[in-house]
């Protein structure tokens, strides 16, 4: 197959938007979620993020990256002000509205109203969830880590609340996101549904991994 | 639909492996890659990671999370020793071998030999690539960030070299990973191929996002 190679100088010489597209799409498929916040005055904000990553299970921690020179700044300001926010998975039925939350709306404008997504408020909880979303997480701010290399910020947060459809939770604790309709994204603008190849058994040296369902059936037999 | 809700106490009361499965699978689909390193003595190491995240395009930066109390420690030690490593996307043809690299092999054993993946060495470049992989990245260590909350470590690195099939690079710089056969994962053990829904045009206030191809065709017409 014809291959193309790029070194550091090639990449840094790319036109700016071309490089952003190239580097953003190079890293693989990504988690896609809508982060819901509310500022001290009560205005809600909703923004699409694709840098959610797992940090630990005990306590349940995750991180995501914010670029403070973009519309993501509203999300950051609200989180630092109120310390709480929601994470809502995106399904195919509303992925265009999710994408649209990235538009440069003013601080006074709520992306909920602008995109037609529905604000869902839980009694006694300040930030808004996305009613349309199947998988909803309530999170509390833990730490702000400044990344000096390029001025971006990593937010570290703890999962405090989870709401999922009962049918997607498997007996071993696995949450079947594909069954929930959660989609994935690539680059800045490419959205993808998924099709499971297999779950595999826990990796041990000198033993071939097997399809999980097959293994479970064997145990039952 | 029947929904299940969990608060912080519920989650912390889960049995340990159940909680690891639950929290790991909650965050959405993830980037899946094999990180190739070599220690100072020349022994190669290969480990599967699913926490790769984009940090910036100029300079091209990314991060990933290492748990130092696991087999991931070999990757960490080698990166801190040699400052260079490779990132290789996973395709369906060898996803079982990729999963298997997570097994607890000894420090002297190379996961390449153990799993049957092929070491590919580039003249003048120290760490090994995965020959089978369609999308290969050479990276240089930039910063180690300790996450005090749970003792994990974030590695920040810069992309210095990229090798991709020519046919997956689009005119605007978008790298079509689905065309390359890159797969995604969920939780600790679930592997998924993807099916594109659409690329969408850049989000602007008060304008509906459109499918990208359609827009491009309009521009050409």
Q: What is the pLDDT of residues B169-203, one digit of tens each?
A: 999 999 999 999 999 999 999 999 999 999 999 99
The interface predicted TM-score of the complex, written ipTM, equals: 0.94
C-alpha–C-alpha distance, residues B83 and B111, integer Å: 20
Contacts of B32 in chain A (CB under 8 A): 28-29
Band the pLDDT of B217: cuts 50, 70, 90: very low
Q: According to the model, what pLDDT value does residue B79 have?
A: 98
Alpha carbon B159 to its chain centroid, in Å, reads 13
C-alpha–C-alpha distance, residues B96 and A29, integer Å: 18
Q: According to the model, what pLDDT value does residue A16 have?
A: 97
Put simply, the answer to whether A200 touches B212 (Cβ < 8 Å) is no
DSSP H helical segments within B83-203, as ranges?
95-100, 111-115, 177-180
Q: According to the model, what pLDDT value does residue A217 have?
A: 46
C-alpha–C-alpha distance, residues B92 and B115, integer Å: 15
Put simply, the answer to whether A196 touches B190 (Cβ < 8 Å) is yes
Find which of A4, A11, A54 to mutate to test the B interface (most B CBs within 10 Å of its CB): A54
Q: According to the model, what pLDDT value does residue B128 have?
A: 98
DSSP structure class, residue B141: E
The pair of three-digit structure tokens given for residue A17, joined into one six-digit string: 């938007």
Contacts for A8 with CB less than 8 Å, ≥ 6 apart? B158, B159, B160, B161
Radius of gyration of chain B (CA): 20
What distances in angstroms separate CA B205 from CA A91, A174, B201, one per listed residue?
22, 38, 12
Q: According to the model, what pLDDT value does residue B1 have?
A: 63
- For residues B65 and B122, the answer to whether their CB atoms sit within 8 Å is no
Contacts for A24 with CB less than 8 Å, ≥ 6 apart? A187, A188, B54, B57
Contacts for A79 with CB less than 8 Å, ≥ 6 apart? A37, A85, A141, A155
Put simply, the answer to whether A19 touches B173 (Cβ < 8 Å) is yes
Put simply, the answer to whether B53 touches A27 (Cβ < 8 Å) is yes
Per-residue pLDDT of chain A (221 residues; tens, 9 = 90+): 699 999 999 999 999 999 999 999 999 999 999 999 999 999 999 999 999 999 999 999 999 999 988 888 999 999 999 999 999 999 999 999 999 999 998 878 889 999 999 999 999 999 999 999 999 999 999 999 999 999 999 999 999 999 999 999 999 999 999 999 999 999 999 999 999 999 999 999 988 888 876 455 444 43
Q: According to the model, what pLDDT value does residue B218 have?
A: 47
Q: Report the C-alpha dihedral over residues A213, A219, B2, B3, rounded to 10 degrees.
A: -80
Contacts for A151 with CB less than 8 Å, ≥ 6 apart? A68, A69
What distances in angstroms separate CA A22 from CA B99, B159, B172, one per listed residue?
27, 12, 8
Q: Please count the residue pairs, one from chain A and one from chain B, whose beta carbons lie less than 8 angstroms apart.
A: 381
Q: According to the model, what pLDDT value does residue B107 have?
A: 78
Closest of A193, A36, A9, A155 to residue B63, by C-alpha = A155
- For residues A49 and A64, the answer to whether their CB atoms sit within 8 Å is yes
Residue A162's H or E segment, with its range, is strand A152-165
User: pLDDT tens-digit profile of B90-139?
Assistant: 999 999 999 999 999 887 888 999 999 999 999 999 999 999 999 999 99
- For residues A196 and B187, the answer to whether their CB atoms sit within 8 Å is no
Contacts of A31 in chain B (CB under 8 A): 27-30
- For residues B21 and B190, the answer to whether their CB atoms sit within 8 Å is no
C-alpha–C-alpha distance, residues B159 and A94, integer Å: 33
The pair of three-digit structure tokens given for residue B202, joined into one six-digit string: 């850049």
Angle at B95 (CA atoms; ends B157, A167), nearest 5 degrees = 100
User: pLDDT tens-digit profile of B11-51?
Assistant: 999 999 999 999 999 999 999 999 999 999 999 999 999 99
Comparing alpha-carbon positions, the chain B residue that sits nearest to A3 is: B165
User: pLDDT tens-digit profile of A15-73?
Assistant: 999 999 999 999 999 999 999 999 999 999 999 999 999 999 999 999 999 998 888 89
- What domains does chain B contain, in order, with CATH numbers? 8-220 (2.30.110.10)
Contacts of B53 in chain A (CB under 8 A): 27, 30, 51, 53, 63-65
The pair of three-digit structure tokens given for residue B183, joined into one six-digit string: 């797969």
What distances in angstroms separate CA A134 from CA A92, A163, A169, B39, one per listed residue?
11, 8, 12, 45
What distances in angstroms separate CA A56 from CA A53, A158, B66, B146, B148, one per listed residue?
10, 9, 10, 13, 12
Handedness of CA A135, A153, B56, A158 (dihedral sign): negative
């Amino acid at each position: 197959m014809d291959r193309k190679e790029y070194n550091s100088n090639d990449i840094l010489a790319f036109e700016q938007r071309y490089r952003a597209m190239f580097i953003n799409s190079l890293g693989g498929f990504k988690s896609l979620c809508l982060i819901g916040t509310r500022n001290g005055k009560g205005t809600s904000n909703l923004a699409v993020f694709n840098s959610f990553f797992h940090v630990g299970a005990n306590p349940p921690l995750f991180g995501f990256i914010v670029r403070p020179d973009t519309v993501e700044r509203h999300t950051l300001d609200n989180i630092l002000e109120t310390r709480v926010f929601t994470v809502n998975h995106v399904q195919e039925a509303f992925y265009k509205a999710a994408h649209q939350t990235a538009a440069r709306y003013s601080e006074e404008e709520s992306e909920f109203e602008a995109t037609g997504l529905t604000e869902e408020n839980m009694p006694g909880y300040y930030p808004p969830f996305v009613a349309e979303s199947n998988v909803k997480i309530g999170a509390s701010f833990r730490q702000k880590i400044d990344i000096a290399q390029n001025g971006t910020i990593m937010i570290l947060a703890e999962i405090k609340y989870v709401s999922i459809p009962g049918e997607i939770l498997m007996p071993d604790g696995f949450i079947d996101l594909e069954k929930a309709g959660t989609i994935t994204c690539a680059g800045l603008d490419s959205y993808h549904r998924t099709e499971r190849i297999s779950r595999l058994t826990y990796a041990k040296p000198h033993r071939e991994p097997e399809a999980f369902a097959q293994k479970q059936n064997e145990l039952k037999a």
